[in-house]
Amino acid sequence: MESFLPFFPLNLVAYPTENLNLHIFEPRYRQLINECLEEQKTFGIPAFINNKLPGYGTEMQIVSLSKSYEDGRMDIKTKGLKVFRMLNFQNPVPNKLYAGGRITYVEDTDTPDGVISELLLQLDRLHHILQTKVNFDTQVQPFSYQIGHKVGLSQEEEYHLLTIDSETERQRYILRHLNKVVPVMSEMERTKERIKLNGHFKNLDPLNF
């Protein structure tokens, strides 16, 4: 289904279900956000990667206006809704300061019942190595978007994840990434421990030849 969205291009990848806080200061985006607040409209964040708009983005809903400043700046809380693909790009939209364009929404081709068990295992290993705790809910789908920013993907890889229209394939994509990086990080952790022990007195068992 085609639609029209005002655009707020950013050098980041926003995902559906993601909560994103934004500080609005440019006049064109102050106009855009004020219109969205007054008319209860959504806007799109097309990813701006390597100085270009490759074409995919996420429709965003303003959840709340956190703070207004006397000079017109704003702090807003937003939430990602749907993935879209740009059909055209107008900069600016006629009689507006901001850009916009026609889009078509990208629907998922599958809705799996759960999460790949090996993916959960590798996530646990990653966070154990990093000594961090990341909250996620395996009952909430799409699960991949919950962890897309939390597994060490590059910006280009995060964008590629956005373009995959299958939750199963997105989970497999993240799993392949973790299967590559977790062993490397585990070895780095072991190397770090060996470096720490270097120079310490060692109580070594005798070897029997």
pLDDT for 107-158, tens place per residue? 999 989 889 999 999 999 999 998 888 888 998 889 999 999 999 999 999 9
| Residue 164 dihedral angles phi and psi, to the nearest 5° | -85, 125
Residue 31: CA atoms inside 13 Å, Cβ hemisphere, count?
12
- Give which of 171, 157, 177, 165 is closest to 120, Cα–Cα: 171
Residues 24 and 99 in one domain: yes
Q: Are residues 7 and 80 in the same domain?
A: yes
Indicate the residue among 57, 85, 105 that finishes a domain: 105
Residues 37 and 128 placed together within one structural domain of the fold: no
CA dihedral 27, 24, 83, 179 (to 10 degrees): 140
Residues 14 and 43 in one domain: yes
> Per-residue pLDDT tens for 52-97?
999 999 999 999 999 999 999 999 999 999 999 999 999 999 999 9
pLDDT band at 209 (very low <50, low <70, confident <90, very high): very low
